[in-house]
Amino acid sequence: MSVRFDLDPSVTPELREGVCALWADVSNAGGAVGFVPPVTGEDIRPELIKHLAAMAEGRARLLVGRDADGTPLATAFLYANTHRLMRHYLWVYSVMVHPSLQGRGVGRELMAAVEDAARATEGIRAIRLTCRGGTGADRFYASCGYKEVGRVPGAIKVADDDYRDDITMWQELH
């Protein structure tokens, strides 16, 4: 399946609902994108609205991967830093690929598109993101050129008896 990536797409009601549905599908398949299954679109919507508000304020950008019909299949939100000493890197949040596309290279394509977007942003020298330990996401990001630069043991609580590490990953843009 071919996925087309667009940076800063028009946020239509269809795109908004499509991203919400994607986020719920990824979460319910066990994806570590801020929720623990089971979730519905209504559970996801407040977090999506926060991202959309940041976009409207110019603090964030959306990178979305869509199929030929325009259905969102992958996303990443790129955030500019507001701290005057940290404006040289972007934060990346809510990186996700539809579960039906796992293992097909779409995640690597998404991360390459994130890197392209960061390189095209004036003054940006690096990308920073976090991921949940115990999912293999850190190995995936490492295979995309990121290095682990920090880990907080047990910082993410996914169940009463299940605490995961919060892992910070970093990629220099040379």
Measured between alpha carbons, how far is 102 from 167 in angstroms, rounded to an integer?
21
Question: What's the one-letter identity of residue 109?
Answer: E
pTM value > 0.85: yes
- Neighbour count for residue 46 (Cβ, 10 Å): 8
Q: Please answer whether residues 27 and 35 qualify as being in contact, where contact means their C-beta atoms are separated by less than 8 angstroms.
A: yes
Q: How many residues does the chain have?
A: 174
- pLDDT bracket for residue 26 (50, 70, 90): very high
DSSP for residue 8: S
Give per-residue pLDDT as tens, 82-114. Answer: 999 999 999 999 999 999 999 999 999 999 999
Measured between alpha carbons, how far is 170 from 8 in angstroms, rounded to an integer?
23
Model pLDDT, residue 1: 75
Model pLDDT, residue 51: 98
Residue 24, H or E segment: helix 13-28
Is residue 30 pLDDT above 80, yes or no?
yes
Structure tokens, 147: 């290095």
Q: Please answer whether residues 161 and 168 qualify as being in contact, where contact means their C-beta atoms are separated by less than 8 angstroms.
A: no
Structure tokens, 8: 């800063």
Phi, psi of 100 (to 5 degrees): -70, -15
